Structure 1
Amino acid sequence: MPASPGTVIAYLSEAAAAVRPVGSWAYAAATLTRRAAAINARHTGAGHLPPGADGQVARALRAIRRERSTVQRRVDPLLTDDVKLILRSVAGSTWPGAVAAVRDAAVLLAGFAGAFRRSELAALNISDVIPSRHDGVYLRVRRSKTDQEGQGQVKALPFGHDPLTCAPCALWRWLDLLVVVDGEGGRPALVRAVREAGPPETHVCRRERARPEAGLPLFRSLAGGGAIKPMRMSGHAVNEMLKRRAAAAGLGPTRYGGHSLRAGFVTQAFRAGADSRAIRRQTGHRSDSVLAVYDREYAPLVGNAVTGLGL
């Protein structure tokens, strides 16, 4: 350092030309854009003028994107009916699969109602669950992809009408199991707790109950035989769980992933007539530019004049 714009452009151009043995590009345009941003940030942090300051690097990146001209692959959104379909397929599970069913229902409903990224779900601790007598449950996001300084955000999960789709109910059913596990109740106590929880036919979200240890992870990894591990789920595990549950419900697993819950929230909200400001209150997006992608690609008939042509 400091690197000249020409050096950075040469580096990006060489990386853009690299191909894998199968003939596909070695690096996506988004990867090269991220690398250019990292180079600029490193220069700025060291007190140097960033190579991209004069616009030459940005123009080179635009040229690379034009040359590629490929449509970015996006996972399909999981809409409300899809989430209900998955939850119904999960609800009938028996021991030991019932433990995973309780956890996965909590992940699904928290992720969908809260418009969470999978990394945000994985990072939640029990202390981030804040009960609200009037509103349901608040979940505190301490840090996110667009909040690296850790200013934080609080997301509200309201009481649901149906016990099957009530996000606070799903969270408390899972927390009830964690009380047993963290209290060293052992396998017999966990089996009893699962049986007492039963299928989600009644609301449990307004009951008084004990809380697990606050500093531990909220969503945990599972072992065989229904055992709950002390370590947290990873973002990758959230992604794989969603694919697995989608396949079990008869949905194409290759079409869905960890981002399907967040994309589903935005898409369903647009279809329900919500405006972008109301959606950003929950997603945490700072502008409407990203939301416009969901609006354009997943809800193209919302507010579209073609619906009034009388065809």
Structure 2
Amino acid sequence: MTEILAPAAPIDVAGTVLAHADAERVRRTLESSISPATKRAYASDWRSFAAWCAAKGYPPLPASAETVIAYLSEAAATVRPDGGWAYAVSTLTRRAAAINAAHVSAGVPAPGAGGQVARALLAIRRERTQGPRRVDPLLTDDLKILLRALADTTWPGAVAATRDAAVLLAGFAGAFRRSELAALNLSDVIPSRHDGVHLRVRRSKTDQEGAGLVKALPFGHDPLTCAPCALYRWMDLLTAVDGAGGRVALMRAVRDMNAQETHVCRRERARTDSEAPLFRSLAGGGAVKDARMSGHAVNEMLKRRAAAAGLDPTRYGGHSLRAGFVTQAFRAGADSRAIRRQTGHRSDTVLAVYDREYAPLVGNAVTAIGL
């Protein structure tokens, strides 16, 4: 978020003025408390607010609570051409947080400190009658449809098909957020002779301190839906890419790759210490880039694969994998504690949403009243 912050200036706190160097350390400490993804979002939010202030003739820093409320209210009233709200309440809330963070980092009072901005956001939330839009969960049968549709063993389509199968199966079996999938490195894949594959999540949305979490992806019965198989097929292609053979080696690896009807997960696998991204961007002609696949790219890939499989892509997104795991687990009779062991949720509050909206008949007495 450094691009939206003013240079560190002496800070006067209770009559004590910090020197420039100490003020800079304070700024950096506060900045490090925010995750990189949040910093990027805050930077975009600040640019929006600063541009709005410039157009209106208001100072963005320091800004009054009234200025921020006027900005948020105008954004809240904006509608898209289809009649829907242009900005969700969650987006407006984040923008208010970004404005406050910029003020705190610059050593000036935050406009939200008095509670007026929070009350304005509450009023906006009450005025919105539409519920939050959620993507549909991808259940096991849906996932099989996608996997069968993307089965491609020919060059160069097999490269993208192999990567996407690995992303889909790891995301579903591991109940991953798309940002967590994008952040995985090769060294985070830990082969297990007994469990299948362990995937190390170094940091997540609810674990900003980086305590970490290990998710186990068990051996699957069907090679089509076996997550370890899908990961190893993709990693075999990466081994060819990262070696000295280049494109020729990759083409050879695609040619020698076992089809989805055959398990490849049971042979001994060595763990790598490479910090290269696990899921990478692709270029035309089967080329694998060094850059990691972004969370947005995961979302767009899933939509493309859903469309190719005959499903409505507008109903699905990257979160469909995590939502699908939770929903499928509830439908299979798993309890919330067992589900949280894989998802990393700290309470049952969010899980109850999936249980209520996507598995309404599970444990419901209506199934036992003889209708």
Aligned-partner residue type, residue 274 of structure 1: A
Q: Which residue of 2 aligns with 1:90?
A: 150
Instruction: From the superposition, tell whether residues 3 and 223 of structure 1 become closer, same or farther in structure 2 (CA, over 3 Å).
Output: closer
1:12 corresponds in structure 2 to 72
Alignment match, 2:274: 214
- Tell which deviates more after alignment, 256-265 or 21-30: 21-30
C-alpha deviation, 1:158, in angstroms:
0.9
1:239 paired with 2:294, answer no
Q: Does 1:263 align with 2:323?
A: yes
> 1:195: which partner in 2?
255
1:302 aligns with 362
Aligned with 1:164: secondary structure? helix
1:34 and 2:94 are equivalent in the alignment: yes
For residue 88 of structure 1, report the CA deviation from its aligned partner. 1.4
Tell me which moved more, 294-303 or 103-112.
Answer: 294-303
Alignment correspondent of 2:231: 171
What is the CA-CA distance between 1:191 and the residue it aligns to? 2.1
1:147 pairs with one of 207, 227, 239: 207
Unaligned segments of structure 1, at least 5 residues? none
CA RMSD of aligned residues (A): 2.5
Further displaced range: 127-136 or 140-149: 140-149
| 1:277/1:49 CA distance change after superposition, 3 Å | farther
Q: Which residue of 1 aligns with 2:16?
A: none
Q: Does the CA-based 8 Å contact 1:117-1:259 persist in structure 2?
A: yes
Greater Cα shift, 5-14 or 249-258: 5-14
TM-score when scaled to structure 1?
A: 0.89
In 2, distance between residues paired with 1:47 and 1:195? 60
Q: CA separation in 2, counterparts of 1:38 and 1:52? A: 11
- Post-superposition shift, 1:135? 0.8
Whether the 8 Å CA contact 1:217–1:232 is kept in 2: the answer is yes
The answer to whether residue 136 in structure 2 is matched with residue 71 in structure 1 is no
Query: Which structure has the greater CA radius of gyration?
Result: 2
Would you say the 8 A contact 1:136–1:159 is kept in 2? Answer: yes
Contact 2:189–2:271 (CA under 8 A) maintained in structure 1: no
Which residue does 1:254 correspond to in 2? 314
Q: Return 78-87 or 25-34, whichever deviates more.
A: 25-34
- Structure 1: distance between partners of 2:103 and 2:247: 55
Distance change >3 Å, CA 54–CA 295, structure 1 → 2: farther
> What SS is found at the alignment partner of 2:190?
strand
> Which amino acid letter does the alignment assign opposite residue 252 of structure 2?
R
Helix, strand or coil at the partner of 1:159: coil
Q: How far apart are residue 83 of structure 1 and its match? A: 0.7
Give the whole-Å Cα distance in 2 for the aligned partners of 1:171 and 1:7.
51
Q: CA deviation at 1:184?
A: 2.2
Are 1:131 and 2:191 counterparts?
yes
Percent of residue pairs identical: 82
Aligned 8 A contact 2:223 2:229 in 1 = yes
TM-superposed CA distance for 1:309, in Å, is 2.5
Q: In structure 1, give the amino acid aligned to 2:218.
A: P
Are 1:110 and 2:166 an aligned pair? no
Instruction: Output the amino acid matched with 2:129.
Output: S
CA contact (8 A) 2:191 2:271 kept: no
Q: Distance in 1 between matches of 2:81 and 2:302?
A: 31
Give the number of the structure with larger relative contact order, counting CA–CA contacts within 8 Å between residues 6 or more apart.
1
The count of aligned residue pairs is 311
Distance 2:281 2:106 in 1: 40
Q: 8 Å contact 2:166–2:234 — kept in the other structure?
A: yes
Q: Deviations over 1:131-183 (max 9, x none)?
A: 11111111111122222222221111111111111111111111111111101
Q: Distance in 2 between matches of 1:53 and 1:296?
A: 36
Structure 1 SS opposite 2:268: coil
1:39 deviates by 4.6
With over 3 angstroms needed to count, the CA separation of the structure-2 counterparts of 1:218 and 1:64, relative to structure 1, is same
Distance 1:287 1:305 in 2: 25
Aligned residue number for residue 284 of structure 1 = 344
Q: TM-score, normalization: structure 2?
A: 0.76
Q: Deviation of residue 208 (structure 1)?
A: 2.8
**Counterpart selection for 1:293 from 350, 353, 358:** 353
